[in-house]
Structure 1
Amino acid sequence: MRPWIRPAFWWRLAIVLSAGLGLVTGDGSLVYFTVESNVMVLGYFAGALYWMAARDTAEGPAPRLRGAVTLYILITGLVAHFLLNHGADPLPGLVSGPDRLQNWSTFFLHYTTPVMVLADWLCLGPRNASRWKDLPLWLSFPLGYAAVVMVRAALFPGFPNKYPYFFFDPSGHGYGYVWLQIAQLTVEFIVLASAVVGLDRLGTAVRGRLRPATG
């Protein structure tokens, strides 16, 4: 069966296009977790398309890496919507205002791509490949990102945009506030990572119950 007649192939191609459009139409740099996570999505799903075509399969490659990529892009979407944008509706900026192209980029990076990757995780295979023991490894990237930001700012105070996000900046409330924010985010990321694994297991259980009995 040709891979391009499978819905999974076209869905993953749409993910690649969403992440790619968000990256090329915006002006963000790799100092932002948003950009880094979307680059990971772009790389993983572009590789997945090649894998699916080469092996004539609907399954994605490296399922545990897929779980990590899913976690990172969900972090991007949730932090952007609730912490950075305070739950504001992103839709009006897509049709009015002077920065519509940047708003579209933000919409792709913060909303469209995370939702599509989550749907991929819930609906497409392989299933039941993530492990609870993967959580520390998955979490090492966002925690490492925070460590790099703080160390870089301390060693290179003239670095452009040394605090990409307000919760890293100690100038307003001091370092105690920053470490408290990092600790709170760490707890939230642990919960989110656990949810990613749990949804994988739940999806497997639901599909098993819905599968018609044989014999």
Structure 2
Amino acid sequence: MLLSRRQLLAAASASLLAGCTTRYAQPIPSPGMPYEPYQPSGPRIPEEYLRMYAAMPNERFPIPAVDLRKVNPIYYRQVVPYSSNEPTGTIIVDTPNRFLYLTMEGGRAMRYGVGIGRAGFAWGGTARIAYKREWPRWTPPAEMIARQPELEPYRNGMEPGLANPLGARALYIFEGNRDTIYRIHGSAEYWTIGTAVSSGCVRLINQDIIDLYNRVPNDTRIVVLQGAQA
């Protein structure tokens, strides 16, 4: 179903009040998904994942390797069996379980671990990716600057870079021609994947958002599942 006007306004209000940042938030564990990072003396991390999350020195802003000991292995990028009535190439956000799926042929999907807003994604339904940006600028809302005056230097936008809350890539979510104010974006804070820490946007490890960015075109359908829907 399409987002209702009430849902859209609630989503916009929540994002305007907080923006896509986690600097002042504390992680909340995913329900049913205990945070179990690898320990140095624990199992050896498979080479395929070390390569998948290796440093990306050729990016505009070189991205360091992910310390996979700090990420629950369930959230590593992987192809999984996935049954859905949605067409191939649809993005499905499973909010309760902190997964993003990109549907593929043959009853499969590419699955990514995500972090979500502290209050959960404020809406559920269908929308589209109106456009994408590499190394986007981030502009904190005026309400956020009023609460956190130290953000005043970024009133007209924060330059792209590893410290930018939107990370290496951003996908902009619209309902029809209306901006929901929500984004799917990258994050250098890979240890927060699987938790509720952002202000409403869906965040991925930078290596994962680059992979997703390269797989989906503009106007990609996105479905956000809440609670019993997931």
Q: Which has the larger radius of gyration?
A: 1
User: Structure 2-normalised TM-score?
Assistant: 0.19
Structure with the larger RCO, 1 or 2 (CA within 8 Å, 6+ apart): 2
Alignment TM-score, normalising by the size of structure 1: 0.20
Q: Write 1 or 2 for the structure with the bigger share of strand.
A: 2
